[in-house]
Amino acid sequence: MSTVTIDRIKSRQRVVLSVLPRKYDFLMELLQNFDFVDVEHENTIGDTREEIMDNLKQAAKELKLVREGKLEGRPAYELLNEL
């Protein structure tokens, strides 16, 4: 979901749209071409696909370093106790 702000001379109106994921990019590109629309991106449900993939790659690198003894790991119970 994205929040779209439409600026007017005397007032400011806010419109909230719920858009199908497959149409989101098209709608955002369309709205950004209007000079009277200011698009405020809200944080969506979670990380983007790219962020998730980057996090998994980083985790795999760290796991490899732990297995090689170059990085110190920590027991799973410590992680669970933090939650």
- The pLDDT tens digits for 26-45 are 998 899 898 888 887 665 56
Task: Name the pTM for this structure.
Answer: 0.42
Question: CA 1, CA 10: separation in Å to the nearest integer?
Answer: 27
Give the DSSP H/E element, type plus range, for residue 2: strand 2-7
Cα 54–77–73 angle (5° rounding)? 50
> What is the Cα 33 distance to its own chain's centre?
22
63 and 74 in contact (C-beta within 8 Å)?
A: no
Angle at 83 between CA 74 and CA 68, to 5 degrees: 20
Model confidence over 40-83: pLDDT tens digits? 766 556 677 888 899 999 999 999 999 999 988 888 888 888 88
